[in-house]
């Protein structure tokens, strides 16, 4: 919270820029670069997208969502690092296993998975968004296996395997005494109580949602730009902040049409509490790649996929043409801005000389 509060203020220091042509100047404060800061994620998303653009294949892409039931989400709230990691691993293994089954796709697929932990009203709602190419490389590595145009994998089959993998490993974590519980859930430390808590979700259908394929690679990038570096709430959803609290827009998914967009006002402390629910454990990776896109084999797998698809190699931007110290042009004349002063943390920049002082210096 301190990082977000101080972001782009004098508390973090900054510099003064001036236009070489017209002399227009402006103050630029440093960013906190915290991954939970709404202001700082825009630049991070652009950099990440530029790197991912080279990974796109000339095929349709599907959007798949894995969601945890409320009973399991309560367990995740007390054990974020372990359960969030389990959610990503179980969801990805489910996709890779079912896709490799000859009765379904019979191929090795690639996955980009992004963890989200919030609902539109900033409640705790852990789920994983996946971007999956519509096909994969055959086991013999000699051909590309395409999925059907509007169908990737059966969601009911995915849901059953996901439920089995997740619950089996969650119980193993409990048996190894790696899960912790506090407050009203402290009784779940007992194994029998924990199994009773999970009894309902063993019979419940676990929701896996697969959206229709995107309309081309650019639509994939547009989606990724909205989802990969998103935080619990963006600045554009905020409407007002006053004595009544914080007012913001949210989506009520239980309603349809124009009634879905609604407005909510929360007391300030409740708003901050909900925002902090979604601060991830230190060092936790919420964007992960699996299958063809995993680790050091990604480059070779993508090259093989392009060869099998008879696709041209990706066009990459030359880093030399994009300077590291790029700054927006002058808002007055469009000229080049240069740094004329750098000030440290908790310091204010010196103001420009006033016209009165300038006349006094030039007086005879």
Q: What is the pLDDT of residue 42?
A: 66
pTM, 2 dp: 0.83
In the 8-state DSSP scheme, what is residue 11?
Answer: G
3-state secondary structure of 323: coil
Confidence of residue 360 (pLDDT cuts 50, 70, 90): very low
Residue 317 pLDDT level (bands cut at 50, 70, 90): low
Element (H, E) at 194: helix 191-203
pLDDT at 313 over 80: no
- The dihedral through the CA atoms of 19, 322, 32, 250 has a sign that is positive
List, for residues 283-294, the tens digit of each pLDDT value: 899 999 999 999
In the sheet with 61-67, reading across from the earlier edge strand, the strands are 208-211, 61-67, 124-133, 110-118, 287-291
What percentage of the chain exceeds 90 in pLDDT?
Answer: 50
Between CA 39 and CA 36 the distance in angstroms is: 9
Q: Report the alpha-carbon distance of residue 206 to residue 71 in Å, rounded.
A: 12
Residues facing 144 on adjacent strands: 137
Least confident of 154-158, 228-232, 310-314, 345-349: 345-349
Mean of the pLDDT values across residues 329-337?
Answer: 87
**Model confidence pLDDT, tens digit, residues 196-211:** 999 989 989 998 998 8
Task: Tell me the average pLDDT across 239-268.
Answer: 88
For the chain, what percent of residues have pLDDT higher than 70?
A: 89
pLDDT interval class at 268 (50, 70, 90): very high
Confidence band, pLDDT 50/70/90 cuts, at residue 325: low
pLDDT in tens, 140-193: 999 999 998 889 999 999 999 999 999 999 999 999 999 999 999 999 999 999
Task: Answer yes or no: is pLDDT of 97 > 90.
Answer: yes
Beta bridge partners of 130: 64, 113
Query: First vs last Cα of the chain: how many Å apart?
Result: 55
Q: Residue 213 pLDDT > 80, yes or no? A: no
Tokens of 331: 């808002």
CA distance 281 to 274: 16
**SS (HEC) of 139-159:** CCCCCEEECECCECCCHHHHH
Q: Name which of 14-23, 24-33, 73-82, 351-360 the model is least confident about.
A: 351-360
In this prediction, residue 169 carries a pLDDT of 97
> For 104, what's the count of Cα atoms within 13 Å in the CB-facing half-sphere?
22
Q: With 70 as the cut, is the pLDDT of residue 315 above it?
A: no
Residue of 35 and 106 predicted with greater confidence:
106
C-beta of residue 343 within 8 angstroms of C-beta of residue 15: yes
Q: What is the pLDDT of residue 320?
A: 43
Q: What are the boundaries of each domain within the chain?
A: 2-36+321-362, 57-232+280-313, 234-276
Instruction: Give the span between the Cα atoms of 51 and 45, in whole angstroms.
Output: 10
**Confidence (pLDDT) at 88:** 97
The secondary structure of 203-272, three-state, reads: HCCCCEEEECCCCCHHHHHHHHHHHCCCCCCCHHHEEEEECCEEEEEEECCCCCHHHHEEEEEECHHHHH
Residue 227 reports pLDDT greater than 90: no
Distances (CA, A) of 227 to 261, 277, 333: 19, 18, 35
* Closest by Cα among 243, 234, 246 to 270: 246
Per-residue confidence (pLDDT) for residue 53, from 0 to 100? 78
Give per-residue pLDDT as tens, 23-79.
Answer: 888 888 888 888 888 777 666 677 777 777 778 888 889 999 999 999 999 999 999
Tokens standing for residue 240: 């007002």
* CA 61 to the chain's CA centroid: 18
Q: What is the mean pLDDT of the chain?
A: 86
Which whole number is the average pLDDT over 321-325?
48
Report how far residue 325's alpha carbon sits from residue 336's, in angstroms, rounded to the nearest whole number.
12
Place of tokens 């989606």: 223
């Amino acid at each position: 919270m301190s990082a977000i509060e101080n972001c782009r203020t004098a508390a973090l220091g900054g510099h003064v820029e001036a236009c070489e042509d017209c002399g227009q100047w402006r103050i630029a404060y440093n960013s906190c670069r915290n991954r939970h800061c709404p202001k700082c994620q825009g630049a991070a998303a652009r950099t990440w997208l530029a790197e991912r653009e080279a990974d796109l294949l000339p095929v349709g892409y599907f959007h798949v969502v894995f969601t945890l039931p409320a009973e399991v989400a309560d367990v995740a709230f007390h054990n974020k690092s372990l359960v969030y990691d389990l959610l990503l691993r179980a969801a990805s293994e489910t996709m890779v296993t079912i896709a490799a089954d000859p009765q379904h796709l019979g191929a090795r697929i690639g996955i980009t998975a992004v963890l989200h932990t919030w609902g539109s009203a900033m409640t705790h709602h852990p789920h994983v968004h996946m971007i999956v190419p519509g096909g994969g490389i055959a086991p013999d590595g000699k051909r590309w296996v395409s999925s059907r145009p509007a169908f990737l994998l059966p969601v009911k089959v995915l849901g059953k395997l996901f439920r089995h993998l997740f619950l089996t490993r969650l119980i193993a974590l409990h048996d190894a005494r790696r899960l912790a519980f506090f407050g009203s859930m402290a009784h779940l430390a007992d194994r029998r109580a924990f199994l009773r808590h999970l009894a309902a979700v063993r019979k419940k259908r676990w929701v896996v949602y697969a959206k229709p394929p995107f309309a081309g690679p650019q639509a994939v990038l547009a989606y990724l730009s909205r989802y990969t570096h998103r935080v619990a709430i963006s600045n554009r959803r905020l409407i007002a902040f006053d004595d009544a609290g914080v007012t913001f827009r949210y989506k009520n998914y239980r309603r349809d049409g124009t009634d879905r967009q609604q407005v909510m006002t929360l007391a300030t402390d409740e708003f901050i509490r909900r925002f902090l629910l979604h601060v991830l454990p230190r060092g936790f990776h919420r964007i992960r790649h699996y299958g063809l896109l995993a680790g050091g084999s990604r480059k070779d797998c993508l090259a093989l996929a392009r060869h099998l698809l008879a696709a041209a190699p990706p066009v990459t931007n030359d880093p030399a043409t994009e300077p590291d110290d790029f700054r927006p042009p002058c808002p007055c004349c469009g000229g080049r801005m240069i740094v004329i002063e750098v000030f440290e943390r908790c310091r204010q920049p010196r103001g420009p000389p006033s016209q009165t002082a300038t006349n006094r210096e030039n007086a005879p």
